[in-house]
Amino acid sequence: MASEPVPAVRTESLNLWYGTFQALQDVTVRIRSGAITAMIGPSGCGKTTFLRSVNRINERLGYVRTTGRIEVLGHDVQGAGVALTQLRRQVGMVFQRPNPLPLSVRDNVLFGHRVHRTPDAAITRAEEEPILEEALRKVLLWDTVKDRLGARATTLSLEEQQKLCIARLLPLQPRILLMDEPCSALDPRATGAIEELLWDLRGEFTILIVTHNMAQARRASDECIFMLMGRVVEHSPTEEMFVTPRDRRTADYVEGRYG
């Protein structure tokens, strides 16, 4: 155990309440660095809540209360000295519905980069160009949008928009990508394209993906976490979870008898 690398995300007895409703109960998990971990479970089981506590974006809702410990890359993220802006730079997030900003494709990709650089870093447009191209190439979007970088991002197709939403995280050089059902608004072909992309990004980034799609979890993840009513029921390698689930409830869920 001692030689095991630092997990990308580690929680210890994490509890979370929305007002009086407890959405996470005693969640203790280790998310393996460099792998794709899928979070599955019926609606309202706390998957998304868990995801949103990793980059602490839940907190904007004033009535959220947490206890327990969340570590990202070995560091506590709830401490007083933690700069949220830096945490979120390291931990990118992709949302359920593609939400490109109502700006041009170019400005979308460079937004995060611009937000984080010092005001005196006089970066010219020419210097931004390679950053832009690299990010778009990595999400396999460069060839489709290179001639319309000035177009409004909202005019792209949904698949392109979702890829753009991934691309705009890359210039920040995040270590972890949180994906909240990134394909739920997409058709099967686009879903396939995004899954392929995830597989390409695997290794370079730790990916934590919430999905309702069992087939997707099975195809596109290394490990699976099954949650039920705010608790982690099972956390195992994907093949194991689908072939030889340890828990009866997991078996029922992955075989479609429940949820």
Partner 1 sequence: MFQPTPVDLRNRAREGLVRWLLLGLTLVIILPVLLILGVLAWKGTPALSLEFLFTEPREAMTAGGILPALVGTVWLVAVALLASVPVGVAAAVYLSEYAPDNALTRIINLAIMNLAGVPSIVHALFGVGAFVYFFRFGTSILAASLTLAVMSLPVIIVSTREALQAVPRAFREACWAMGATRWQTIRHVVLPNSVSGILTGVILEVAHTAGETAPIMFTGAAFFVPFLPEGIHDQTMALSLHLFIISTQVPGVPEPVPFAVALVLISLVMSMNAASIWVRTRLRRRKKW
- Please report whether residue 92 would count as binding partner 1 according to CB under 8 A: yes
Task: Copy the structure tokens of residue 51.
Answer: 């995801």
CB of 95 to partner 1, least distance (A): 6
Candidates 5, 20, 62, 248; binder of partner 1 (CB under 8 A) is: 62
- Please report whether residue 155 would count as binding partner 1 according to CB under 8 A: yes
Compare residues 5 and 62 and give the one whose CB is closer to partner 1. 62
Compare residues 92 and 245 and give the one whose CB is closer to partner 1. 92
Q: Which of 257, 241, 228 is nearest to 43 (CA)?
A: 228
According to CB under 8 A, which residues from 38 to 57 bind partner 1? 55, 57
Compare residues 4 and 120 and give the one whose CB is closer to partner 1. 120
Task: Copy the structure tokens of residue 21.
Answer: 């409703």
CB of 102 to partner 1, least distance (A): 5
Task: Copy the structure tokens of residue 34.
Answer: 């460099």
Q: Which residues have a Cβ under 8 Å from the Cβ of 114 and sit 6 or more positions away?
A: none
Compare residues 174 and 245 and give the one whose CB is closer to partner 1. 174
Compare residues 112 and 245 and give the one whose CB is closer to partner 1. 112
Candidates 6, 19, 28, 102; binder of partner 1 (CB under 8 A) is: 102
- Please report whether residue 116 would count as binding partner 1 according to CB under 8 A: yes
How many residues interact with partner 1 (rule CB under 8 A)?
Answer: 30
Candidates 47, 88, 218, 235; binder of partner 1 (CB under 8 A) is: 88
Q: Which amino acid appears at position 74 of this protein?
A: G
Q: CA distances (Å), 170 to each of 46, 51, 139, 144, 249, in order?
A: 27, 19, 9, 18, 37
SS3 for 106-169, per residue? HHHHHHHHHHHCCCCCCCCHHHHHHHHHHHHHHCCCHHHHCCCCCCEHHHCCHHHHHHHHHHCC
Residue that the structure tokens 């979070």 belong to: 39
- Please report whether residue 28 would count as binding partner 1 according to CB under 8 A: no
